[in-house]
Structure 1
């Protein structure tokens, strides 16, 4: 992953920018002529810029109305000059007037048909539609997600008892887990990567730029875990709530740009997190064989302690 953004994502951002209501404004946002902008955008999405913007803003309007916003404020936010014009467009698109929009937790569709599967996701994010598949709160994925965060915290607290030399010592025979992350040859680097991977994937899911890299001493890592952990769980709960495990994420942080199925992203993070946690546990046991507080990182034991 890099800090560079792919061209299609830049074009999409220009289309959805709140200040870009016309084709000319969209094109100016990426320093292009309207003709070349429209041609490049349509080639990449199969839909004209104006058409996609209109559709996605109607999807956003449906979400806003379901959350209790007034028809008037939603119509203005969607770029319509009159409430009547907005109501006609909304009714044609969804088959019911804006005033009849149900609350968010119902099964009523909030996405309109599209040739490219690109849809609105609050606040202004883009998703490629997949086959909806929900998950229960207590399935293995949910347990592994919570266990990963709790076990990371346990290891960080244990690392606070290590000397600086033990914490940062380069370990012989340590592996490079993923080539783009670089070496993970110390307790410090492995713990840092445990948290960093969630920070970067959340940025990808949110369509944001690569986040800054925080400190890697134990207090800094605990603070970063406190910040990223709840956001990580909230994001996954939202994916699950809307049945989005099969959705495809267009990752603007990769070079070249790549797409990933969201379910595979979560599986990826959990797989390498488990490896990193066990590697840190092994190194800590080397330094302090009598440290029983480390446990064995077993989800069975973790769940027993919680229930």
Structure 2
């Protein structure tokens, strides 16, 4: 905090999240700044635009309100939406399921945010870094978010390929995890990048085996965006409750097996890194322009780009 006792970032956050401040102009006026300087100062401090952060935090609040029994209609208007339909579309896009599927759930619902700023019930913010350090810079957090963003980049780059390039076998018989079968093409490896998180989340949440058959590139992009939110949310919950050493009984295995949760996250990140660097190599050999766009896949470069 500055020596004069002011916490300017907190003032900006308060202006963004004040109920009556529904436009950028309102937010800026509440912070005694011009819209241009307010937006620039806020974005520098949080890495997120004022409007985007407000929208995200209100959706997180909406998810909590729904989980505690709030009606979709009341929650939609409280979140600033003009119609239930508009709220439902925004909510479904953000969380990967409609608002009605949230009712009765008790899990915290946080959307991905590199700045660590989230809604915390009943009516406050949770900021995931302490004055003595930056928890959002610990290696596990960085690797989790880098994995999500890097996979997104690879899926985008794969859109430049022809169908033949996308499905062409490149390493016949290549196995990453034996039980998943050969991973010989860009298509197969990208599918398994997405699938691995879906399957482990199903095991952690006690759900049935997910549908992993929709492997056309547009489907993979959609599945990745949906699973990314759940994956980060689940890992965050494990961390907040200190559950890294908890045992998971995976009933999807035959026979059921037990796993330590911390080892599951390490397992997914380790194999994901192998798959991402292999796909990156193949993409760079196919599309010359992609070599510059994708870079090396180094987390240091990724963090600098975000900075």
Fold equivalence (TM over 0.5): yes
Q: Which residue of structure 2 aligns with residue 72 of structure 1? A: none
Q: Which residue of structure 1 aligns with residue 262 of structure 2? A: 263
Q: Which residue of structure 2 aligns with residue 246 of structure 1? A: 245
Unmatched runs of 5 consecutive residues or more in structure 1: 1-66, 70-120, 124-134
- Count of aligned residue pairs for this structure pair: 179
Larger RCO (alpha carbons 8 Å, 6+ apart): 1
* 1:122-201 correspondence runs (5 A): 136-173=135-172, 175-201=174-200
Provide runs of 4+ in structure 1 moved above 4 Å: none
TM-score (norm 2): 0.55
Cα distance in 1 between the residues matched to 2:157 and 2:179: 28
Structure 1 pair 148/68, CA: closer, same or farther in 2 (3 Å)? closer
Unmatched runs of 5 consecutive residues or more in structure 2: 1-66, 70-104, 108-133
* 1:1-307 correspondence runs (5 A): 136-173=135-172, 175-291=174-290, 292-307=292-307
TM-score (norm 1): 0.55
Cα distance in 2 between the residues matched to 1:289 and 1:137: 34
Question: Is contact 2:171-2:185 (8 Å) kept?
Answer: no
3-state SS of 2:258 partner: strand
3-state SS of 1:203 partner: helix
Structure 1 pair 122/252, CA: closer, same or farther in 2 (3 Å)? farther
Of the two, which has the highest radius of gyration? 1
Cα distance in 2 between the residues matched to 1:152 and 1:68: 34
Question: Is contact 1:214-1:220 (8 Å) kept?
Answer: no
Structure 1 pair 257/145, CA: closer, same or farther in 2 (3 Å)? same
3-state SS of 2:249 partner: strand
Question: Is contact 1:214-1:224 (8 Å) kept?
Answer: no
Cα distance in 2 between the residues matched to 1:285 and 1:268: 26
